[in-house]
Structure 1
Amino acid sequence: MHLDALFSPKTVAVIGASRTSGKIGHTILQNMIEAGFRGELYPVNPHADSILGLKAMHSIAELPSPLDLAVLAVPRDAVVPSLKALLAHRLRAAVVVSAGYRESGKEGWKIEGEVARICRDNDIALIGPNCLGVLSTADGVNASFAPGFPRKGNIAFFSQSGALCSAILDWAIGESIGFSKFVSLGNKAVVDETHMLYALAQDPDTKVVLGYVENVEHGEAFLRMARKITREKPVIMLKGGTTAAGAKAASSHTGAMVGSEHAYEAAFRQTGILRAHTVSEMFDLAQAFSTQPLPQGPRLAIVTNAGGPAVLAADAAEKSLLSMTPLSAQTVEALKADLPTTAGIYNPVDILADATGERLERVASVVLDDPLVDSMMVLIAPTAFTDPVKLAQAVVNVAADTHKPVMCCFMGKARMEPGIAILREASIPCYSFPEQAVRSLEAMYRYGVRKSRPSPVMASVEGRKDVVRRVIKDVRAQGMTDIPEDLAHEILKAYDLPAARAALARTSDEAVAAAAKIGYPVVCKVASPQISHKADAGAVVVGVETPDALRQAFLEITGHVKITRPDAHVTGCMIQEQAPQNMMEVVIGFRRDDHFGPLLRFSLGGIYMDVLGDISYRLAPVSMHDARQLIRGIDSYMLLKGVRGEPAANIETLEDIVIRLSQLAMDFPEIYEAELGPVLVNNERAVVADARLMLLPR
């Protein structure tokens, strides 16, 4: 796909260019001219001879060939004929700004499908429809109707929302934040966020990638691409549609089908994408990553002229992955010799309210030279003695001579603005409040740690696929989607998942025979795909120790279910080995997300999952690290480690179950959902006591 033609075109045509100021076709042409585009620019308007000093083409047929980029500012119903006419000119890329496609209903969906088909069949990189357009500052391209053109920078931004693009662009121009690329994706009929990651990964002008998404079209491709780019460049993303109200709005906005919030959280975490939860946070992080080196460790030093704000900054640091480092004895002695006796010479270093620029520069230099310091925050509050210009210049001087990240927090607005402007011009991040600076430094540290690790290798195991295929075929032949428990056990054994020894008994005599082979005590539970939570249905008897007790349990269970659940199809009872006492219950499962595929989940059993919602998620396939983090991701993880003298659970066995279940999910997309629960675990082993597997409907 010719993504280069979107950002570095040599020939650009504006289809629907207008002579009337205020119309979209006029604004796009004017924006291209004012951006300093150095290539050939062709307005197309059948009723004009020239527009904005450029000769106008009366029809698409008059355009040259080949043509790198066409911006279509024509009504929706004219887009398909225009694209077909442009094919004769070997068009490489297109931007369609008009709305009224899939977000508007069935007819719009049909037209968008035709637009996408034309572009895909002819290898045309299409942005939109229903978008703002594309900007590339390095190439003087403003193929959009955006208000204004940003300064050149190293931040790239893409968004599904054109209105958000407009607002952010206007804000960024006011804040003097520079961009390399700025893209409104719109409905993503062809070019989507995965293509953007691919293009921006190779863009030498881009250091940091920002994105706003409401949905991801091709989840698995997105995951693969994100894993690659985050090894080279930080990717910071804001996800819209995280609530029911937001998801509904997203659907009417771009026709987006918004997926599971848990799946997106897992996708970002596993690929190394840094997730921002607000627009403000996204640009806080962008400022830091685009201007500062990564910290080599978590040790933070704070230099301040204000005690109270420094306490807040220290509190924020201690709640993060950062640490307030003790300064070396040499640094403390140097500060003691230089500062007034009432100053604070430990971390935070308080240079007092009357601090001058010279004092700040001396102290900051000494602190940054300390080998125990990985990063520094300069925190200044306005006082009667504060000269923000001189203090800012002091920070600029110090930051120029260090390889460590330097953040600033100049609290206040009116008095501090001149100093903030100096820091901004010198590309030193300056935040309004200390918590913002700490959060940005923590994100940089976390990204650096991940980047320093070897690339994860996906764990894989071999299962007996022929067994699983046969089971699925048999279940399908019976017209079922819920796999009966006895057949589910066959699938577990095919992937060496540690299922408890069990057998299906259709009569009480078969139950006694099965127990004789398994060995008493046993568990007797109803066999019915319609009854998932058997204990809640009164359909389980545990600790059965004799044949007579087993016959009675079998008859009681089947009789009880026949009365209380007449809708349930009962095939008999499962007779299962009784697990040892004092084993912990966990639940491991997956459900197939529409965008990303199998979403694995892990929880302790009972109220931890059903009431407290203490569940951890990861997407399949998983690496060993992912499997480990899935289990360690629950808040109640320390219970598995053993408390009050209890031995720790066998975590390694649980990790192995996660990996095997992940492989089963990847090998058989027909299995829509699986739940192994309870899985009973102690310090020696784990055993799957119950399993529920469900197929996708045909």
Structure 2
Amino acid sequence: MAYGVSLVSTRYLKRFFKPKSIAVFGASEKENSMGGVVLHNLIEGGYEGKLIAVNKRGYDKVHGITCYSHLSKLPEMPDLAIVCSPPEGVADLVRRLGISGVKAAMILTGGLSRSRNRVGKTVRDEIMELAKPYGIRILGPDCMGMLVSSNHMNASFSHLNIRKGKVSYVGQSGLLGTAMIDWANGQEIGFSHFLTLGEGVDIDLPSIIDYYAQDPYTQSILIQLDHLVGSSRNLLSSLRSASRNKLVLVLKSNMIFDEDKVHQPALGIKDEDLVYDAALRRAGVVRVKTVDQLYNALETLSRMKPMRGERLALVCNGMGPNALATDQLLRKGGELSQLCDETVTALKEVLPDHWNLKNPIDMHADATPERFAQVTKLLTKDPNVDAVLVIHAPTRMAPGAETAKQVIEVARNTPRNILTCWMGRSTAIESRNYINAAGLPTFITPEEAVDAFMHMVEFRRNQEVMRQTPAPFIDPNVQNHIQAKNLVANALAEGRDYLTHSEATDLLDQYDIPVSHSEYADDVEGVVELAKKMGGTVAVKVMHTENVYPFNYDNRQSPRWKDLALDLFSPEEVRQAATKLSFRVQERFPEGPKGFCVQQMKRGYQSLQINMGITRDPVFGPLLLFGKGGYSVDVLADRQVMLPPLNLSLARRLISTSHMFDVLKESSVQLERDLEQLSDLLIKLSQMVVELPNLKGLEINPLLVNRRGVLAVDVAVSLGEPSVLAISPYPEYLSEHISLRKSGRKAIVRAIRGEDEPSHLAFYNTLSAESIRLRYFYSRGIPTHQELANWTQIDYDREMAFIVTAPKQNEPGWETLGVVRAVTDADNVRAEFSVVIRDDLQGEGLGAVLMQKVIDYCKERGTLMLMGSTLTSNKSMQGLAQKLGFKNHYNMEEDVVEMEMMLNEPTEDWQRSRLKG
């Protein structure tokens, strides 16, 4: 029993990108008329649909297009309304468009966020309220418009049209968009779609990314982002989905001029840049930080072939440029190719005797165009070379244009990527024009070329991390975690926004994190008695109203290291140190100390100090933190972060980005053991974030790493309002136990997770050819690792897959018996499902169990309709659907049976409109 699905979340955007008719409001032939420019661009671009001009002045025609004075006089309503009217009339026009049944409007009028109506509300907000009841979707205001090369549609005020290409662009800045079009035309680079969003009243960045991700004309996606509008969770969800199938680059600048949009960095983080880097990397995309990098990235997006690997060969007619490129490559973490012996032997035949016999290759200043071509060709045949960067410095022996032509010919006959760098200007421009026309990436400097190559490498690495099969899932200690929840709940009930030191250490203990034993005293004499009891050297920490909170050690007014006394041996040393600590606290806090913590000293054994913990960002929510430990301010210099939830692969990557990773590699006695234990701790912290939403901050500092393993010496925990993760965590609460109908075999119905990839492949391999045809509507082969990762590592915000899993009957481990999927549109109006059961388990009732599970899930999350389509020959699916309450009907155009079930009644007019559309 099986059938397939298709995503419906962005269908409404076809009215914007593929309209059959367009009306331009505010169009005139006056100089500097935005509406006139847009209409002229539509005509000049060759738009093949119907065009209508609207202007209250009642012109007969505008640029040869019939003009009407009012919306009510139009012979028919357009698919798309483009609004270029003065600000004061825009809100009322949107209302009238909605009443008239227009479903899509693009507002190019600017300044609506600053313009206010009679009651003081911004025109932007007024538009949002007026549009929603009528189901009219709004793009803008203050956008530059959109350009779609496949539809010959230039619905923008851009001074140039776009060339046809495979890159889709979406940005927030209109003027940066027009500059990008100008540059791309000069470089002979094209786009499939080009759009700026402006203020984003309704249609937001995630919606556009989702549309581009499904568009067959789009190979790569380029995003320009000033600041985050709306939900960070929605943005990351769309980016993660898009980057699984297409290359995605994001230009995010650091400068914000609107003080209302300034992103305050999270506690314990030095700046927001670190957080955006972590968020975008977690989404599997590549970030660029300057316009130059964006331009260079566009070169690679448009012209590079699929990446074979990361090993780069460098070749130039001089060592100076080679040195610049090599230095940049190694600084960026790139890899130089190690030439195989056969290649070195072959190169000896075409290079001077004194060549360097290795990569990078110096062809020397007497290199001719023929030598450039011969060397490049040999490198493309080396199995250790994944890409070649050809650098040309102008000489009389190697004329730029002739050399370019010969390298182009080599590039046309190899599947490997060849990047080029023709240095200079006066004689290099003609050469670069030849290379541009040939569709090869070319750059002015060696560093730019390497940066562009590393953008592709970074994307490849991000994808590998995203698709790594996580380690087998180990069920947590549920009982201990319940105690941890109670511990937090009790503190909140007492009105505290922190845990005491003893509570914080208890919290770590509940999650099986090794923590140093602590004893507590109320006064100095109590400290002395505890020190005598412990014996040996001790450490004493005085506690007060500030150091119960994490990340306060960088406070210069109250540095945390003033609260500690270390390496105390004799009772006299202990009494003197504790007394001094007490006086210091009384000087700063009138209420005096809140007690003392006494520990045996744990220094020694070649210990390394590490800082790890949890903090909370105002935009992206909870973050996990890792870096150098200790109480000095300079720990901020090694602060690396990652968004939870984490698996083993992500935890290892977080550690590897820190400077402490290099220290560990040099100093650790058992590196793999230490990395495994540190990764395990990060995963446990990630688990805390998911299970304890009131956990605002947690800092383990220092965490000691030595021959004995890892040990948390000090910890502080703060509490706050419940948080929302930017990346949806695993929904453990949806799991339930069942028994199969005939055999009585025990099984579990639960959400799928990445760790299920091996068993999911085994499940797929049990399916008959007929079951596969019914599920996918065609015959197909064994799925690749990439496909399996996409099926198992899902985003629980936008889709759900429930599996029935049971212990294997004749060997250890678990096996998958069946799966149901539901993909929900962006507005939670419709969800589409698919279901497939193992062939040998038909009749066990699993189809009904999984279908009821997905029905209940979608109904609970407020989805209005559950729907899908199946082949007419799939009578068992049709029968099950009817039995469960679906309404089935035949779709003659698609030759499928469609099944629909209303789960919740719409409460808004826009919902009713979407259900009809």
TM-score higher than 0.5? yes
The reply on whether 1:21 has 2:31 as its aligned counterpart is yes
Say whether the 8 Å CA contact 2:615–2:622 is kept in structure 1: yes
Q: Is 1:227–2:273 an aligned residue pair?
A: no
How far off is 1:32 after superposition? 1.5
Cα distance between partner residues in 2 of 1:312 and 1:83: 56
Q: Distance in 1 between matches of 2:486 and 2:669?
A: 46
Partner Cα distance (1:44, 1:87) in 2: 16
C-alpha distance in 2 between matches for 1:642 and 1:417 = 48
CA contact (8 A) 2:104 2:136 kept: yes
Cα distance, 1:85 vs structure 2: 0.9
Amino acid at match of 1:47: R
Q: Counterpart in 1 of 2:45?
A: 35
Instruction: Give 1:33's aligned amino acid.
Output: I
Compute the displacement of 1:408 (Å): 1.2
Change in CA separation of 1:210 and 1:648 when aligned onto 2, cut-off 3 Å: closer
Instruction: Using the TM superposition, name which of 163-172 and 350-359 deviates more.
Output: 350-359
By how many angstroms is 1:644 displaced? 9.6
Same amino acid, percent of matched pairs = 28
For residues 116 and 635 of structure 2, the distance between their equivalents in structure 1, rounded to whole angstroms, comes to: 40
**Within the alignment, does 1:501 sit opposite 2:517 as a pair?**
yes
SS at structure 1 position matched to 2:637: coil
Distance 1:113 1:355, change over 3 A: same
Where do residues 589-668 of structure 1 align in structure 2 (5 Å cutoff)? 589-606=613-630, 610=634, 613-641=637-665, 643=667, 650-668=674-692
2 CA distance for matches of 1:4 and 1:517? Answer: 76
Q: Measure, in 2, the Cα distance between the counterparts of 1:344 and 1:631.
A: 37
What's the counterpart of residue 884 of structure 2?
A: none
What do the CA deviations read for 1:614-658 (whole angstroms, capped 9, x no partner)?
A: 222212222222222222322233333453989998333222222
* Secondary structure at 2:703 match in 1: strand
Q: After TM superposition, give the deviation of residue 13 of structure 1 in Å.
A: 1.9
| Residue of structure 2 in register with 1:528 after alignment | 544
**In the TM superposition, what are the counterparts of 1:351-362 in structure 2 within 5 Å?**
353=365, 356-362=368-374
Residues 316-351 of structure 1 deviation map (CA, whole Å, 9 limit, x = unaligned): 444444444354444444444456667777545555
1:566 is matched with 589
Q: Return the match for 1:215 from 208, 221, 227.
A: 227
Q: Secondary structure at the match of 1:407?
A: strand
Secondary structure of the residue that 1:482 maps to in structure 2? Answer: coil
Q: How many angstroms apart in 2 are the aligned matches of 1:344 and 1:497?
A: 53
Q: Matched residue of 1:420: which SS? A: helix
Supply the distance in 2 between the matched residues of 1:108 and 1:182 (Cα, whole angstroms).
Answer: 34
Counterpart pick for 1:74 among 68, 81, 85: 85
Per the alignment, residue 771 of structure 2 pairs with: none
- Cα-to-partner distance string for 1:342-394 (whole Å, 9 max, x where unaligned): 77775455555565544543443233223332222222222234443332222
What secondary structure sits across from 1:445 in the alignment? helix
Aligned position for 2:250: 237
* Alpha-carbon displacement from aligned partner over 1:448-498 (angstroms, at most 9, x marks no partner): 344356625678956655445444444344443233323333433343333
SS of the equivalent of 1:675 reads strand
Distance 1:416 1:538, change over 3 A: closer
> Structure 2 CA distance, aligned partners of 1:299 and 1:277?
24
How far apart are the structure 1 equivalents of 2:719 and 2:461?
A: 40
- TM-score, normalised with respect to structure 2: 0.68
Give the distance between the partners of 1:625 and 1:154, measured in 2 at CA.
32
Secondary structure, aligned partner of 1:625:
helix
In the alignment, structure 1 segments of 5+ residues that lack a partner are none
CA drift at 1:676: 1.9
- How far apart are the structure 2 equivalents of 1:568 and 1:657? 36
Q: Aligned partners of 1:642, 1:387: CA distance in 2, in Å?
A: 49
Secondary structure of 2:688's counterpart equals helix
RMSD: 3.6
Q: What is the aligned counterpart of 1:57 among 68, 74, 91?
A: 68
C-alpha deviation, 1:437, in angstroms? 1.7
What one-letter code is carried by the residue in structure 1 that aligns with 2:54? V
Provide the secondary structure at the position in 2 that maps to 1:14: strand
Match of 2:280 in 1: 268
Q: Is the 8 A contact 2:530 2:598 kept in 1?
A: yes
Q: 1:308 to 1:668 in 2, by over 3 A?
A: same
1:532-565 Cα shifts (integer Å, max 9, x gaps)? 559847544556789x779958973784256223
**Contact (CA 8 Å) 1:209, 1:235: kept in 2 or not?**
yes
Shift of 1:527: 3.5
Q: Aligned in 2, Cα 1:308/1:494: closer, same or farther, shift over 3 Å? A: closer
SS of aligned partner of 1:413 = coil
Aligned counterpart for 1:304 among listed residues 311, 316, 328: 316
Equivalent position SS for 1:650: helix
Name the residue aligned to 1:682: 706
1:672 to 696, 703, 716: 696
Change (3 A) 1:504 1:282: same
For 2:437 and 2:542, the matched residues in 1 are separated by 72
From the superposition, tell whether residues 457 and 191 of structure 1 become closer, same or farther in structure 2 (CA, over 3 Å). farther
Give per-residue Cα distances to partners, 1:17-59, cap 9 Å, x unaligned: 2231311111111112222111122222122232111112322
* Counterpart code for 1:58: S
Alpha-carbon distance in 1 for matches of 2:433, 2:518: 73
**What are the residue-to-residue correspondences of 1:404-423 with 2, within 5 Å?**
404-423=416-435
Inter-CA distance 641–5: structure 2 relative to 1 (3 Å threshold): same
- Answer whether contact 1:493 1:499 (CA < 8 A) is retained: yes
Unaligned runs of 5+ in 2: 1-9, 266-271, 723-917
Q: How does 1:120-159 map to 2 (within 5 A)?
A: 120=132, 122-159=134-171
- Counting only pairs closer than 5 Å after superposition, residues 450-465 of structure 1 correspond to structure 2 as 450-452=462-464, 455-456=467-468, 461=476, 464=480
2:499 pairs, out of 467, 470, 483, with: 483
For 2:666 and 2:327, locate their aligned partners in 1 and report how far apart those are by CA, in whole Å. Answer: 30
Contact persistence 1:214–1:256 (CA under 8 A) = no
The CA deviation at 1:427 is 0.5
Q: Is the 8 A contact 1:588 1:676 kept in 2?
A: yes
Contact 1:136 1:180 in 2 (8 A): yes
> What secondary structure does 1:25 align onto?
helix
Q: Alpha-carbon deviations, 1:126-167, whole Å to 9, x = none?
A: 322222122111112222212111111112222111111122
Stretch moving more, 608-617 or 27-36: 608-617
Closer, same or farther in 2 for the Cα pair 1:347/1:684, shift >3 Å? closer
Aligned amino acid, residue 503 of structure 2: L
Q: Deviations over 1:300-320 (max 9, x none)?
A: 333434454344334444444
* C-alpha contact 1:103 1:251 (8 A) present in aligned 2: no
Q: Deviations over 1:562-604 (max 9, x none)?
A: 6223345744334556546444322212221122111222222
Distance in 2 between residues matched to 1:71 and 1:438, nearest whole Å:
42
Residues 630 and 90 of structure 1: CA distance in aligned 2, closer, same or farther (over 3 Å): same
Q: How far apart, CA to CA, are the structure 1 residues paired with 2:590 and 2:672?
A: 42
Question: How many residues are aligned here?
Answer: 690
Give the secondary structure class of the aligned counterpart of 2:32. coil
- Given residue 431 of structure 2, which amino acid in structure 1 is its aligned partner? G
Partners of 2:259 and 2:152 in 1: CA distance: 34
Separation of aligned partners in 2, 1:52 and 1:108:
38
Give 1:402 deviation, angstroms: 0.7
Q: Distance in 2 between matches of 1:478 and 1:186?
A: 47
Relative to 1, partners in 2 of residues 1:18 and 1:415: Cα closer, same or farther, differing over 3 Å?
A: same
On the 8 A contact 2:263/2:618 being kept in 1, the answer is no
Paired residue type of 2:94: L
Give, as a single letter, the amino acid of the residue that structure 2 aligns with 1:9.
P
